[in-house]
Structure 1
Amino acid sequence: MIEQFRRMADFTAKLKDEVLAACEVGKDEASEALSRALGNPMTLAVGEAGAYSAAVAPEEAGLAIVLKVDLEAAIVLIPASSGLLPDWYAEPDATGESKLATLAQELGMLLLPEEFMPLDFKAGKIENIRAGLKKAGCTDAAACVSLPLTGENGSSEALLVWPAPQADAIFKSTAAPQQPTDTPKNDPNLAVEVKPAPAPTPATPPPRTEPVGQRNLPHYAKSLLKIAIEVNVTLASKKMRVREITELGIGSIIQFDKSCEESIDLEVGEHRIAQGEAVKIGDKFGMRVTNVLLPEERFISIKGKRRVR
């Protein structure tokens, strides 16, 4: 387990062979995931793995899928010119956001080695793939795998690029603020209204904009995050008499009071921490978290000693 977490911290370009092998194994299920999410039947193939350079990234809009692995990330990019992206991907509604989130989660499980399972996912439109990768910190030291995509509406080459140390920055806009084009000329007859300067206001400290995350934690806290604990997903539960349990056999059916549409529970150490719904990820079972539960508050009354006068 210690070796596994040590490797997670070394998600570097040297892992081209491991990533390429994972893509070969998961390409069929990745094709199904892309077809379901984007509503366009398509086939994903696996090309060559090599060093990344800005020349391989097109200067056009597209879909970016960020797969965070510990302090680094991998990014899957699909160009808009491929004709494989639906119109709603640029401004998805709640259903579209759910589809993109599920797609990101599935691709993270299918295209990366098992020991580098992503911890977080994000997907959305970017205006320029090459500029976005530069903002994400992808340099000549990064690696990439070409993923040719073929569908009914077109074909193109998707990219899998890693490591991206500033992956979240890929979604930040680079549009410069517009400046006024018409400036008044020096005209002596032009009347200019001069307003008094407003009174200075006391300076207030700017709000804290630094995000709170694993990068900002002290070293001793980061070491706690590497402890492995068992996580259980409970579909339903029921109390049965010992006599009923001893009568169970092959083919017996146990009926629960819980409806199939109700949420399932995520438990850690026999404590419920979240609720969600069951989802299918390829041929595996998964859970999409819809509600995070706060810990129960317990109050203990303290009785003081009665004073005797």
Structure 2
Amino acid sequence: DKDAAKDSDEKAAEEATTEKVIAEDRSEPTLVNSMEKDVLGEIANISMGSAATTLSALVGKKVDITTPKVSVSTIEEIKEKYSDAYFILKVNYKKGLEGANIMILHTYDVGIIVDLMMGGDGTNPPAELNDIHLSAVSEAMSQMMGTSSTSVSQLVNKRIEIFSPIFKVSTFDDDELFEQDDEKVVFIRFQLEIADLVDSEMIQILPIPFAKAIVNEIMNINMSNLTEMSPAANTEATPAAASAPSKKGKSAPPAPEVQPVPAPAAAAAIPTDPVVAKATPGSTGPGKNIEIAPVQFPDLSASGNTKNDLPNIDLIMDIALQLSVELGRTNKKIKDILELTNGSIIELDKLAGEPVDILINGKLLAHGEVVVIDENFGVRVTGIISPEERVKSLR
């Protein structure tokens, strides 16, 4: 009986161990493997490169966000290592991706960024961040996340939209940021450098499902590209095999010679009659000719800008376009914007009496001068931009 009881206990222990191993195997796919870490690191490197460019334009200093280090950790482990208060920004995705990611900066680094944005030299950061400081750095981070999302959108080949970011100065003990301490997340550390003022780190935290979803998007695109390339390779290989001469048969006849067509001197001198090239028997059949239509290009000069020169223009005649008149522009620092009050004067880059710009859907169309018509402002067109200049402005 003792032996039977011992055997029963050993069998129960083996079954429990087996169930534990099976449970661990089932939970293993929720973790991030080394290949996925490499993909996430590359995505982070590209997206934060765009974000660094945006921040550099806002602070007027060289900004580098490099060397992403990807790891998997729990919230509890992060809390033990990072116990101070940080500037935390949470971004929720509206379209394209489901989930959220969290960006974290040291409050001292945020103070330097705020000082630079307010017109300072970065050597006198505020001791405490007030609402104005937080609003300024939140706007900077929002623009950074916008450009970062654009980079990710190009990588996954789909439109991505984000909600307005949520920001606060808090610790990792904030219950609103994380659901439970044992939750495993992707932990990415970046090296943040702003000129000779900041040499610190910036942290990004991604939930495991969100991180794996981004990796899957990238992998699916790569697989689809390989699938599309395979038929093309087979198609290219077929003519090559067909053109190879048989060892037993006769050699293939030489390719037919086509007389070269002299290039026209100008667009107006292009012949209207089609050029006919004789084909040798065996290529397209006896007695058949190949008609080659001449190439014609539209005239972009101002003289060709008539309604008759634009085919099917009537199809879009009822489309509404936004017309606006721009008096001038100027650039102001955030410090100057915050100091604006009633009665403040903003100087534009246009002189008095200088023609104003007439824009159609934001594109320059013409120049004009401001007039008053029955107590309303109007604009008299003094010059229209030529089609050539309009095309150049789009490049």
TM range (shorter): 0.3 to 0.5
> Which has the bigger relative contact order, CA under 8 A and spacing at least 6?
1
Normalising by structure 1, we get a TM-score of 0.44
- Larger helix fraction of residues: 2
Choose 1 or 2 for highest CA Rg.
2
Normalising by structure 2, we get a TM-score of 0.35
